[in-house]
Amino acid sequence: MTAVLDLAVARARDLAPDRQDEIARLMLAVLSDDAPVYHFTPEEEAELDESEAAAARGEFATDEEVRAIWTKHGL
């Protein structure tokens, strides 16, 4: 085990059992060869489908729209 992983496991031992289980599930998902790490909600799937359809139509945000979003979020 690497030092970084050993440190992470040591710190996880100090967490509440439910947080330890959450970390364990995430680790197992990452280590699995056949399960995705993240499952989209139905709403996220629909948003992704619309985004991909817009991209296929060549519909992209203008530079001005992108700058406005960055400004809104302090970037």
Q: Please state at what angle helix 17-31 crosses helix 3-13, rounded to 10 degrees.
A: 150
* Residues above pLDDT 90, as percent of the chain: 77
Q: What is the mean pLDDT of residues 31-48?
A: 85
pLDDT at 36 over 80: no
Q: What is the mean pLDDT of residues 65-74?
A: 94
**CA dist., res. 31 & res. 24, Å (int):** 10
The pLDDT assigned to 22 comes to 95
The pLDDT assigned to 35 comes to 65
Q: How many structural domains comprise the chain?
A: 1
Q: What is the mean pLDDT of residues 43-52?
A: 96
Q: Is the pTM of this model over 0.85?
A: no
Residue at 15 is within a domain: no
Q: Which amino acid is at 38?
A: Y
Residue at 10 is within a domain: no
Domain span holding position 65: 42-72
Q: What is the DSSP letter of 32?
A: -
